[in-house]
Protein backbone atom coordinates (compact mmCIF):
# COMPACT_ATOMS: atom_id res chain seq x y z
CA UNK A 1 0.00 0.00 0.00
CA UNK A 2 1.39 3.31 -1.03
CA UNK A 3 1.48 5.96 1.69
CA UNK A 4 0.79 8.67 -0.81
CA UNK A 5 -2.53 7.17 -1.67
CA UNK A 6 -3.66 5.70 -4.93
CA UNK A 7 -2.26 7.40 -7.96
CA UNK A 8 -4.71 9.71 -9.58
CA UNK A 9 -5.93 8.04 -12.71
CA UNK A 10 -8.09 10.80 -14.06
CA UNK A 11 -6.35 10.94 -17.42
CA UNK A 12 -9.11 10.77 -19.97
CA UNK A 13 -9.07 7.50 -21.74
CA UNK A 14 -8.84 7.76 -25.45
CA UNK A 15 -8.99 4.85 -27.77
CA UNK A 16 -7.11 4.65 -31.03
CA UNK A 17 -10.43 4.45 -32.81
CA UNK A 18 -11.44 7.85 -31.44
CA UNK A 19 -8.30 9.49 -32.67
CA UNK A 20 -8.59 7.79 -35.99
CA UNK A 21 -12.17 8.76 -36.50
CA UNK A 22 -11.44 12.33 -35.58
CA UNK A 23 -8.56 12.52 -38.00
CA UNK A 24 -10.59 10.86 -40.67
CA UNK A 25 -13.45 13.23 -40.09
CA UNK A 26 -11.12 16.19 -40.35
CA UNK A 27 -9.58 14.88 -43.52
CA UNK A 28 -12.95 14.21 -45.04
CA UNK A 29 -14.14 17.61 -44.13
CA UNK A 30 -11.10 19.26 -45.60
CA UNK A 31 -11.55 17.28 -48.75
CA UNK A 32 -15.15 18.35 -48.97
CA UNK A 33 -14.33 21.95 -48.39
CA UNK A 34 -11.74 21.84 -51.11
CA UNK A 35 -14.13 20.15 -53.45
CA UNK A 36 -16.94 22.56 -52.74
CA UNK A 37 -15.54 25.63 -54.47
CA UNK A 38 -12.32 24.77 -56.21
CA UNK A 39 -12.98 27.36 -58.89
CA UNK A 40 -12.52 30.15 -56.42
CA UNK A 41 -8.93 29.03 -56.27
CA UNK A 42 -8.86 28.55 -60.01
CA UNK A 43 -9.87 32.15 -60.46
CA UNK A 44 -6.70 33.22 -58.77
CA UNK A 45 -4.29 30.99 -60.61
CA UNK A 46 -6.02 29.46 -63.61
CA UNK A 47 -3.94 29.85 -66.74
CA UNK A 48 -6.91 30.62 -68.96
CA UNK A 49 -8.46 33.31 -66.88
CA UNK A 50 -6.31 36.07 -68.26
CA UNK A 51 -8.32 36.29 -71.46
CA UNK A 52 -10.01 39.58 -72.28
CA UNK A 53 -13.64 38.84 -71.74
CA UNK A 54 -13.44 36.44 -68.87
CA UNK A 55 -15.23 37.94 -65.95
CA UNK A 56 -13.61 36.41 -62.91
CA UNK A 57 -15.67 38.39 -60.47
CA UNK A 58 -18.82 36.87 -61.86
CA UNK A 59 -17.67 33.39 -60.92
CA UNK A 60 -17.30 34.51 -57.36
CA UNK A 61 -20.70 36.10 -57.61
CA UNK A 62 -22.10 32.87 -58.91
CA UNK A 63 -20.54 30.99 -56.07
CA UNK A 64 -22.12 33.37 -53.64
CA UNK A 65 -25.46 33.14 -55.35
CA UNK A 66 -25.22 29.41 -55.17
CA UNK A 67 -24.39 29.62 -51.52
CA UNK A 68 -27.29 31.94 -50.91
CA UNK A 69 -29.67 29.68 -52.68
CA UNK A 70 -28.27 26.75 -50.81
CA UNK A 71 -28.76 28.53 -47.50
CA UNK A 72 -32.26 29.48 -48.46
CA UNK A 73 -33.10 25.90 -49.25
CA UNK A 74 -31.49 24.72 -46.08
CA UNK A 75 -33.53 27.16 -44.03
CA UNK A 76 -36.68 26.20 -45.85
CA UNK A 77 -35.98 22.58 -45.02
CA UNK A 78 -35.41 23.54 -41.39
CA UNK A 79 -38.71 25.30 -41.32
CA UNK A 80 -40.44 22.24 -42.72
CA UNK A 81 -38.74 20.07 -40.16
CA UNK A 82 -39.67 22.45 -37.38
CA UNK A 83 -43.28 22.43 -38.50
CA UNK A 84 -43.35 18.68 -38.72
CA UNK A 85 -41.98 18.24 -35.23
CA UNK A 86 -44.13 20.90 -33.64
CA UNK A 87 -47.33 19.91 -35.38
CA UNK A 88 -50.09 21.66 -33.49
CA UNK A 89 -48.58 21.01 -30.11
CA UNK A 90 -48.88 23.87 -27.64
CA UNK A 91 -45.26 23.59 -26.69
CA UNK A 92 -43.08 24.19 -29.69
CA UNK A 93 -39.40 24.05 -30.32
CA UNK A 94 -37.42 26.35 -32.53
CA UNK A 95 -34.57 25.62 -34.88
CA UNK A 96 -33.77 29.28 -35.16
CA UNK A 97 -30.23 28.73 -33.98
CA UNK A 98 -29.49 26.33 -36.79
CA UNK A 99 -30.32 28.73 -39.56
CA UNK A 100 -27.50 29.59 -41.85
CA UNK A 101 -26.57 33.12 -41.05
CA UNK A 102 -23.67 33.66 -43.35
CA UNK A 103 -22.02 31.16 -45.63
CA UNK A 104 -18.50 32.14 -44.74
CA UNK A 105 -19.04 32.14 -40.99
CA UNK A 106 -18.14 28.55 -40.43
CA UNK A 107 -14.60 29.09 -39.27
CA UNK A 108 -13.67 25.76 -37.78
CA UNK A 109 -11.63 27.31 -34.95
CA UNK A 110 -14.85 28.79 -33.62
CA UNK A 111 -16.40 25.40 -33.69
CA UNK A 112 -13.88 23.86 -31.37
CA UNK A 113 -15.20 23.15 -27.92
CA UNK A 114 -15.28 26.48 -26.19
CA UNK A 115 -15.49 26.07 -22.46
CA UNK A 116 -16.70 29.55 -21.91
CA UNK A 117 -19.68 29.09 -24.09
CA UNK A 118 -22.62 27.89 -22.08
CA UNK A 119 -25.41 29.31 -24.13
CA UNK A 120 -27.06 26.00 -24.77
CA UNK A 121 -26.04 24.23 -21.63
CA UNK A 122 -29.24 22.95 -20.04
CA UNK A 123 -27.33 22.14 -16.86
CA UNK A 124 -26.49 25.72 -16.30
CA UNK A 125 -29.92 26.74 -15.13
CA UNK A 126 -30.33 23.76 -12.82
CA UNK A 127 -26.95 23.71 -11.20
CA UNK A 128 -25.17 26.93 -11.95
CA UNK A 129 -22.43 26.07 -9.50
CA UNK A 130 -21.19 23.14 -11.54
CA UNK A 131 -20.44 25.42 -14.42
CA UNK A 132 -16.86 26.47 -13.85
CA UNK A 133 -16.37 29.84 -15.39
CA UNK A 134 -12.76 29.94 -14.37
CA UNK A 135 -10.20 27.21 -14.06
CA UNK A 136 -11.47 25.65 -10.88
CA UNK A 137 -14.06 26.03 -8.21
CA UNK A 138 -14.61 24.72 -4.72
CA UNK A 139 -12.23 24.03 -1.87
CA UNK A 140 -9.88 21.32 -0.77
CA UNK A 141 -10.58 17.89 -2.08
CA UNK A 142 -13.87 19.04 -3.66
CA UNK A 143 -11.94 21.12 -6.13
CA UNK A 144 -13.41 20.91 -9.57
CA UNK A 145 -11.31 21.87 -12.55
CA UNK A 146 -12.60 22.58 -15.98
CA UNK A 147 -10.99 19.35 -17.00
CA UNK A 148 -13.16 17.39 -14.68
CA UNK A 149 -14.33 14.38 -16.57
CA UNK A 150 -17.86 14.32 -15.31
CA UNK A 151 -18.55 18.00 -15.84
CA UNK A 152 -16.98 18.05 -19.28
CA UNK A 153 -18.78 14.89 -20.23
CA UNK A 154 -22.13 16.34 -19.29
CA UNK A 155 -21.40 19.57 -21.06
CA UNK A 156 -20.31 17.73 -24.15
CA UNK A 157 -23.47 15.73 -24.13
CA UNK A 158 -25.49 18.89 -23.79
CA UNK A 159 -23.64 20.44 -26.69
CA UNK A 160 -24.71 17.68 -28.98
CA UNK A 161 -27.92 19.62 -29.21
CA UNK A 162 -26.06 22.13 -31.28
CA UNK A 163 -25.75 19.65 -34.07
CA UNK A 164 -28.18 20.03 -36.90
CA UNK A 165 -31.63 18.67 -36.07
CA UNK A 166 -31.48 15.95 -38.66
CA UNK A 167 -28.34 14.54 -37.11
CA UNK A 168 -29.38 11.62 -34.95
CA UNK A 169 -27.67 11.87 -31.59
CA UNK A 170 -29.74 9.26 -29.90
CA UNK A 171 -31.02 9.53 -26.36
CA UNK A 172 -27.76 10.72 -24.86
CA UNK A 173 -29.08 14.16 -24.13
CA UNK A 174 -31.85 12.81 -21.93
CA UNK A 175 -29.52 10.51 -20.02
CA UNK A 176 -26.70 11.39 -17.72
CA UNK A 177 -24.20 10.57 -20.43
CA UNK A 178 -20.67 11.84 -20.28
CA UNK A 179 -18.80 12.24 -23.50
CA UNK A 180 -15.06 12.50 -23.57
CA UNK A 181 -13.66 15.41 -25.51
CA UNK A 182 -12.31 13.10 -28.16
CA UNK A 183 -15.61 11.44 -28.70
CA UNK A 184 -17.38 14.74 -28.70
CA UNK A 185 -15.05 16.25 -31.26
CA UNK A 186 -15.29 13.20 -33.45
CA UNK A 187 -19.03 13.30 -33.24
CA UNK A 188 -19.07 16.98 -33.96
CA UNK A 189 -16.95 16.58 -37.06
CA UNK A 190 -19.16 13.78 -38.15
CA UNK A 191 -22.23 15.89 -37.54
CA UNK A 192 -20.87 18.62 -39.77
CA UNK A 193 -19.93 16.34 -42.59
CA UNK A 194 -23.30 14.64 -42.24
CA UNK A 195 -24.94 18.02 -42.45
CA UNK A 196 -23.10 18.74 -45.65
CA UNK A 197 -23.80 15.33 -47.05
CA UNK A 198 -27.50 15.47 -46.42
CA UNK A 199 -27.60 18.97 -47.83
CA UNK A 200 -25.96 17.63 -50.94
CA UNK A 201 -28.45 14.80 -51.22
CA UNK A 202 -31.24 17.27 -50.81
CA UNK A 203 -29.75 19.49 -53.45
CA UNK A 204 -29.48 16.51 -55.74
CA UNK A 205 -33.16 15.80 -55.46
CA UNK A 206 -34.16 19.31 -56.41
CA UNK A 207 -31.64 19.85 -59.13
CA UNK A 208 -30.49 16.66 -60.67
CA UNK A 209 -27.81 18.69 -62.43
CA UNK A 210 -25.77 18.29 -59.31
CA UNK A 211 -24.71 15.00 -60.83
CA UNK A 212 -21.06 14.37 -61.42
CA UNK A 213 -21.89 14.80 -65.09
CA UNK A 214 -20.97 18.46 -65.03
CA UNK A 215 -18.15 20.37 -63.42
CA UNK A 216 -18.77 23.02 -60.75
CA UNK A 217 -18.44 25.89 -63.20
CA UNK A 218 -21.09 24.46 -65.43
CA UNK A 219 -23.26 23.84 -62.41
CA UNK A 220 -23.02 27.48 -61.49
CA UNK A 221 -23.97 28.45 -65.01
CA UNK A 222 -27.03 26.24 -64.80
CA UNK A 223 -27.90 27.54 -61.35
CA UNK A 224 -27.73 31.03 -62.64
CA UNK A 225 -30.24 30.20 -65.35
CA UNK A 226 -32.58 28.69 -62.79
CA UNK A 227 -32.04 31.52 -60.35
CA UNK A 228 -32.75 34.08 -63.02
CA UNK A 229 -36.05 32.34 -63.60
CA UNK A 230 -35.22 31.54 -67.20
CA UNK A 231 -35.54 27.88 -66.39
CA UNK A 232 -38.09 26.60 -63.96
CA UNK A 233 -36.35 23.40 -62.95
CA UNK A 234 -33.73 21.14 -64.39
CA UNK A 235 -35.25 17.72 -64.10
CA UNK A 236 -32.58 15.33 -65.20
CA UNK A 237 -30.15 14.01 -67.69
CA UNK A 238 -31.39 12.79 -71.06
CA UNK A 239 -28.13 11.69 -72.54
CA UNK A 240 -24.48 11.45 -71.66
CA UNK A 241 -22.30 11.28 -74.70
CA UNK A 242 -18.60 11.47 -75.26
CA UNK A 243 -18.74 15.11 -76.14
CA UNK A 244 -21.86 16.40 -74.50
CA UNK A 245 -24.37 15.92 -71.74
CA UNK A 246 -27.99 16.79 -72.42
CA UNK A 247 -30.45 17.73 -69.68
CA UNK A 248 -34.17 18.26 -69.67
CA UNK A 249 -35.58 21.37 -68.06
CA UNK A 250 -38.89 23.12 -67.73
CA UNK A 251 -38.78 26.59 -69.17
CA UNK A 252 -39.36 29.60 -66.98
CA UNK A 253 -40.10 33.20 -67.77
CA UNK A 254 -38.21 35.27 -70.22
CA UNK A 255 -36.66 38.52 -69.10
CA UNK A 256 -37.78 40.18 -72.30
CA UNK A 257 -41.34 40.31 -73.52
CA UNK A 258 -40.68 39.45 -77.13
CA UNK A 259 -38.90 36.19 -76.44
CA UNK A 260 -40.86 33.17 -75.34
CA UNK A 261 -39.11 30.34 -73.56
CA UNK A 262 -40.47 26.95 -74.62
CA UNK A 263 -42.33 25.05 -71.89
CA UNK A 264 -39.74 22.28 -72.10
CA UNK A 265 -36.08 22.78 -72.88
CA UNK A 266 -33.07 20.67 -73.65
CA UNK A 267 -29.75 21.86 -72.25
CA UNK A 268 -26.73 20.66 -74.16
CA UNK A 269 -23.56 20.99 -72.15
CA UNK A 270 -20.45 20.59 -74.25
CA UNK A 271 -17.90 18.69 -72.26
CA UNK A 272 -14.93 20.62 -71.18
CA UNK A 273 -12.69 17.59 -71.02
CA UNK A 274 -10.55 18.67 -73.87
CA UNK A 275 -9.17 15.45 -75.22
CA UNK A 276 -12.59 14.30 -76.34
CA UNK A 277 -12.57 17.05 -78.88
CA UNK A 278 -9.19 16.37 -80.39
CA UNK A 279 -10.61 14.22 -83.14
CA UNK A 280 -12.97 16.97 -84.14
CA UNK A 281 -10.24 19.39 -85.05
CA UNK A 282 -10.62 18.73 -88.72
CA UNK A 283 -14.20 19.96 -88.71
CA UNK A 284 -13.55 23.31 -87.22
CA UNK A 285 -9.94 23.93 -88.16
CA UNK A 286 -10.77 23.95 -91.83
CA UNK A 287 -14.02 25.79 -91.47
CA UNK A 288 -13.15 29.21 -92.78
CA UNK A 289 -15.87 30.78 -90.65
CA UNK A 290 -13.74 29.95 -87.67
CA UNK A 291 -10.34 29.92 -89.29
CA UNK A 292 -9.12 33.28 -88.14
CA UNK A 293 -10.25 32.65 -84.64
CA UNK A 294 -9.01 29.14 -84.32
CA UNK A 295 -5.31 29.82 -84.13
CA UNK A 296 -5.61 32.29 -81.29
CA UNK A 297 -7.80 30.20 -79.11
CA UNK A 298 -7.18 28.21 -76.02
CA UNK A 299 -8.92 24.85 -75.73
CA UNK A 300 -11.62 26.17 -73.46
CA UNK A 301 -12.68 28.67 -76.05
CA UNK A 302 -12.62 26.05 -78.76
CA UNK A 303 -15.22 24.11 -76.84
CA UNK A 304 -17.36 27.19 -76.59
CA UNK A 305 -17.01 27.47 -80.31
CA UNK A 306 -18.64 24.08 -80.76
CA UNK A 307 -21.61 25.32 -78.83
CA UNK A 308 -21.62 28.51 -80.84
CA UNK A 309 -21.45 26.55 -84.07
CA UNK A 310 -24.42 24.45 -83.06
CA UNK A 311 -26.35 27.60 -82.26
CA UNK A 312 -25.59 29.26 -85.60
CA UNK A 313 -26.37 26.12 -87.53
CA UNK A 314 -29.65 25.56 -85.71
CA UNK A 315 -30.63 29.13 -86.40
CA UNK A 316 -29.98 28.72 -90.11
CA UNK A 317 -32.04 25.56 -90.14
CA UNK A 318 -34.82 27.22 -88.23
CA UNK A 319 -34.89 30.04 -90.75
CA UNK A 320 -35.19 27.53 -93.57
CA UNK A 321 -38.09 25.84 -91.83
CA UNK A 322 -36.31 22.57 -91.18
CA UNK A 323 -37.76 20.83 -88.11
CA UNK A 324 -35.05 21.18 -85.45
CA UNK A 325 -34.69 22.45 -81.89
CA UNK A 326 -35.12 26.16 -81.50
CA UNK A 327 -32.27 28.02 -79.84
CA UNK A 328 -33.19 29.61 -76.53
CA UNK A 329 -29.85 30.85 -75.27
CA UNK A 330 -26.15 30.19 -75.46
CA UNK A 331 -23.94 30.72 -72.41
CA UNK A 332 -20.35 29.74 -72.83
CA UNK A 333 -20.37 26.00 -73.56
CA UNK A 334 -24.01 25.53 -72.57
CA UNK A 335 -26.70 25.67 -75.23
CA UNK A 336 -30.35 25.80 -74.24
CA UNK A 337 -32.85 24.86 -76.91
CA UNK A 338 -36.41 23.69 -77.19
CA UNK A 339 -37.06 20.13 -76.18
CA UNK A 340 -38.16 17.67 -78.85
CA UNK A 341 -40.51 15.37 -77.00
CA UNK A 342 -43.11 15.72 -74.31
CA UNK A 343 -43.43 15.48 -70.54
CA UNK A 344 -39.73 14.91 -70.05
CA UNK A 345 -39.73 12.03 -72.52
CA UNK A 346 -37.45 12.83 -75.44
CA UNK A 347 -38.60 11.91 -78.90
CA UNK A 348 -37.11 8.58 -79.96
CA UNK A 349 -34.21 8.44 -82.36
CA UNK A 350 -35.07 7.07 -85.75
CA UNK A 351 -32.96 4.04 -84.95
CA UNK A 352 -35.12 3.21 -81.93
CA UNK A 353 -38.57 3.70 -83.36
CA UNK A 354 -40.54 1.18 -85.37
CA UNK A 355 -42.38 2.94 -88.12
CA UNK A 356 -45.08 1.62 -90.36
CA UNK A 357 -43.92 1.26 -93.96
CA UNK A 358 -46.02 4.28 -94.77
CA UNK A 359 -44.34 6.43 -92.12
CA UNK A 360 -40.98 5.07 -93.17
CA UNK A 361 -41.57 6.25 -96.70
CA UNK A 362 -42.85 9.58 -95.43
CA UNK A 363 -39.76 9.97 -93.28
CA UNK A 364 -37.50 9.23 -96.22
CA UNK A 365 -39.11 11.81 -98.48
CA UNK A 366 -38.89 14.33 -95.70
CA UNK A 367 -35.21 13.65 -95.12
CA UNK A 368 -34.39 13.92 -98.80
CA UNK A 369 -36.09 17.28 -98.75
CA UNK A 370 -34.34 18.38 -95.60
CA UNK A 371 -30.93 17.43 -96.92
CA UNK A 372 -31.53 19.51 -100.02
CA UNK A 373 -32.78 22.44 -98.00
CA UNK A 374 -29.86 22.13 -95.66
CA UNK A 375 -27.44 22.25 -98.58
CA UNK A 376 -29.11 24.83 -100.74
CA UNK A 377 -30.84 27.13 -98.29
CA UNK A 378 -28.68 26.80 -95.21
CA UNK A 379 -25.45 26.22 -97.08
CA UNK A 380 -24.67 23.37 -94.70
CA UNK A 381 -23.72 19.74 -94.68
CA UNK A 382 -24.84 17.99 -91.51
CA UNK A 383 -21.67 15.87 -91.35
CA UNK A 384 -23.03 13.46 -88.74
CA UNK A 385 -26.35 12.56 -90.25
CA UNK A 386 -27.66 9.14 -89.34
CA UNK A 387 -30.58 7.48 -87.61
CA UNK A 388 -28.87 8.47 -84.34
CA UNK A 389 -29.29 12.17 -84.92
CA UNK A 390 -32.80 12.20 -86.28
CA UNK A 391 -35.74 12.17 -83.89
CA UNK A 392 -39.26 11.07 -84.69
CA UNK A 393 -41.75 13.47 -83.17
CA UNK A 394 -45.22 14.65 -84.12
CA UNK A 395 -45.25 12.44 -87.17
CA UNK A 396 -42.12 13.89 -88.68
CA UNK A 397 -38.35 13.77 -88.55
CA UNK A 398 -36.38 16.36 -86.58
CA UNK A 399 -32.70 17.00 -87.14
CA UNK A 400 -30.45 17.48 -84.14
CA UNK A 401 -26.75 17.53 -83.26
CA UNK A 402 -25.38 20.02 -85.76
CA UNK A 403 -22.35 21.34 -83.92
CA UNK A 404 -20.06 19.63 -86.40
CA UNK A 405 -21.99 20.72 -89.48
CA UNK A 406 -19.92 22.58 -92.07
CA UNK A 407 -20.45 24.55 -95.21
CA UNK A 408 -20.10 22.59 -98.45
CA UNK A 409 -16.91 24.51 -99.32
CA UNK A 410 -15.21 23.07 -96.26
CA UNK A 411 -12.15 21.18 -97.55
CA UNK A 412 -13.87 17.93 -96.58
CA UNK A 413 -17.43 19.13 -96.92
CA UNK A 414 -18.33 16.91 -99.86
CA UNK A 415 -16.80 13.84 -98.24
CA UNK A 416 -18.92 14.52 -95.17
CA UNK A 417 -21.96 14.85 -97.38
CA UNK A 418 -21.21 11.56 -99.06
CA UNK A 419 -20.88 9.86 -95.72
CA UNK A 420 -24.23 11.31 -94.65
CA UNK A 421 -25.78 10.00 -97.86
CA UNK A 422 -24.38 6.54 -97.24
CA UNK A 423 -25.91 6.43 -93.76
CA UNK A 424 -29.30 7.65 -94.93
CA UNK A 425 -29.47 5.36 -97.97
CA UNK A 426 -28.43 2.33 -96.02
CA UNK A 427 -30.92 2.98 -93.26
CA UNK A 428 -33.89 3.38 -95.57
CA UNK A 429 -32.93 0.64 -97.95
CA UNK A 430 -32.66 -1.73 -95.03
CA UNK A 431 -35.91 -0.31 -93.74
CA UNK A 432 -37.65 -1.44 -96.88
CA UNK A 433 -38.23 1.87 -98.63
CA UNK A 434 -38.25 0.93 -102.28
CA UNK A 435 -37.96 4.53 -103.42
CA UNK A 436 -34.76 5.12 -101.49
CA UNK A 437 -31.97 6.33 -103.76
CA UNK A 438 -28.57 4.77 -103.42
CA UNK A 439 -25.89 6.91 -101.82
CA UNK A 440 -24.45 8.19 -105.09
CA UNK A 441 -27.84 9.19 -106.46
CA UNK A 442 -28.69 10.80 -103.16
CA UNK A 443 -25.44 12.72 -103.17
CA UNK A 444 -26.15 14.12 -106.60
CA UNK A 445 -29.75 14.88 -105.70
CA UNK A 446 -28.69 16.84 -102.65
CA UNK A 447 -25.66 18.65 -104.02
CA UNK A 448 -26.93 19.26 -107.53
CA UNK A 449 -23.62 17.90 -108.79
CA UNK A 450 -23.52 15.30 -111.47
CA UNK A 451 -20.87 12.77 -110.58
CA UNK A 452 -21.28 9.86 -112.93
CA UNK A 453 -18.98 7.26 -111.42
CA UNK A 454 -20.92 4.07 -110.87
CA UNK A 455 -18.85 2.63 -108.06
CA UNK A 456 -17.92 3.96 -104.68
CA UNK A 457 -14.17 4.15 -105.17
CA UNK A 458 -14.37 6.24 -108.32
CA UNK A 459 -17.14 8.34 -106.87
CA UNK A 460 -15.07 9.07 -103.80
CA UNK A 461 -12.09 9.96 -105.98
CA UNK A 462 -14.15 12.45 -107.97
CA UNK A 463 -15.40 14.03 -104.78
CA UNK A 464 -11.88 14.49 -103.54
CA UNK A 465 -10.80 15.93 -106.86
CA UNK A 466 -13.59 18.49 -106.63
CA UNK A 467 -12.58 19.42 -103.14
CA UNK A 468 -8.99 19.81 -104.23
CA UNK A 469 -10.04 22.01 -107.10
CA UNK A 470 -12.00 24.22 -104.79
CA UNK A 471 -9.06 24.45 -102.42
CA UNK A 472 -6.72 25.50 -105.23
CA UNK A 473 -9.27 27.97 -106.42
CA UNK A 474 -9.34 29.47 -102.97
CA UNK A 475 -5.56 29.55 -102.77
CA UNK A 476 -5.40 31.45 -106.06
CA UNK A 477 -8.15 33.85 -105.24
CA UNK A 478 -7.18 34.66 -101.73
CA UNK A 479 -9.82 34.82 -99.12
CA UNK A 480 -12.76 32.50 -99.26
CA UNK A 481 -14.82 35.04 -97.45
CA UNK A 482 -14.88 37.24 -100.52
CA UNK A 483 -16.06 34.35 -102.68
CA UNK A 484 -18.85 32.95 -100.63
CA UNK A 485 -20.76 34.96 -98.17
CA UNK A 486 -21.23 32.90 -95.07
CA UNK A 487 -24.99 32.92 -95.31
CA UNK A 488 -25.25 33.10 -99.05
CA UNK A 489 -25.67 30.67 -101.86
CA UNK A 490 -24.12 27.25 -101.91
CA UNK A 491 -20.81 27.02 -103.72
CA UNK A 492 -20.65 26.43 -107.41
CA UNK A 493 -18.23 23.74 -108.41
CA UNK A 494 -17.59 24.79 -111.97
CA UNK A 495 -15.41 22.76 -114.29
Least Å distance, CB 202 to Mn ion, is 33
Question: What are residue 44's phi and psi, to 5 degrees?
Answer: -75, -35
Query: Is 420 a residue that touches Mn ion (CB under 5 A)?
Result: no
Closer CB to ligand ADP, residue 337 or residue 421? 337
Which residue number places its CB atom closest to ligand ADP? Answer: 241
Neighbours of 34 (CB within 10 A): 10
Close Cβ partners of 196 (under 8 Å, ≥ 6 residues apart):
29, 32
Where in 269-328 is the site for Mn ion (CB under 5 A)?
Answer: none
Contact 333, 403 (CB under 8 A): no
Among the listed residues 389, 403, 423, 470, the single contact to Mn ion using CB under 5 A = 389
Per partner kind, with CB cut-offs from 5 to 8 A, the member of Mn ion, ligand ADP, none near residue 339 is ligand ADP
Under DSSP, the state recorded for 169 is: -
Q: Mark 306-345 with x for binding to ligand ADP (rule: CB under 6 A) and - for no binding.
A: -------------------x-----------x-xxx----
Per partner kind, with CB cut-offs from 5 to 8 A, the member of ligand ADP, Mn ion, none near residue 92 is none
Q: Select from 215-223, 386-394, 427-435, 479-487 the region that touches Mn ion (CB under 5 A).
A: 386-394
String of DSSP letters for 294-331: HTT--HHHHHHHHHHHHHHHHHHHHHTT---PPEEEEE
Tell me whether residue 286 is one of the annotated catalytic residues.
no
Where in 373-392 is the site for ligand ADP (CB under 6 A)?
Answer: 389
Strand partners, 266: 248, 337
Q: Select from 66-74, 342-350, 388-396, 463-471 the region that touches Mn ion (CB under 5 A).
A: 388-396
Question: What are residue 179's phi and psi, to 5 degrees?
Answer: -100, 135
Query: Is 246 a residue that touches ligand ADP (CB under 6 A)?
Result: yes
Under DSSP, the state recorded for 438 is: P
Strand order through the sheet with 231-240:
231-240, 244-251, 264-270, 334-338, 327-331
Among the listed residues 15, 34, 239, 344, the single contact to ligand ADP using CB under 6 A = 239
Per partner kind, with CB cut-offs from 5 to 8 A, the member of ligand ADP, Mn ion, none near residue 239 is ligand ADP
Give the dihedral of Cα atoms 341, 345, 346, 350; nearest 10 deg: -100
d(CA 85, CA 92): 8
Among the listed residues 38, 135, 241, 488, the single contact to ligand ADP using CB under 6 A = 241
List contacts with ligand ADP (CB under 6 A). 238-239, 241, 243-244, 246, 266, 268, 325, 337, 339-341, 346-347, 349, 389, 400-401
Q: What residues are annotated to the active site? A: 384
Amino acid sequence: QCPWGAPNTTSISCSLADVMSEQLAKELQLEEENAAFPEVVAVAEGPFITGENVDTSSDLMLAQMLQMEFDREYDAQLRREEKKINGDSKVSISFENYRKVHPYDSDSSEDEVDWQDTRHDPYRADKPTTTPRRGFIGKGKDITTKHDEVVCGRKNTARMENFAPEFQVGDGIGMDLKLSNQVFNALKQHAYSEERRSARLHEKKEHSTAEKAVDPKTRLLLYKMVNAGMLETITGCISTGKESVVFHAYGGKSATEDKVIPPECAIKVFKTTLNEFKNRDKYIKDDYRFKDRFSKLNPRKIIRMWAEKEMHNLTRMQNAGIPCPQVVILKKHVLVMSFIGQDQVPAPKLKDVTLSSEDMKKAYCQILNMMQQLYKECNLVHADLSEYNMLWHDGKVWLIDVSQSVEPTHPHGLEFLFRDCKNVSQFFQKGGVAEALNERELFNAVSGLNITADNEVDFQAEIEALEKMNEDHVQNHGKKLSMFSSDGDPPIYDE
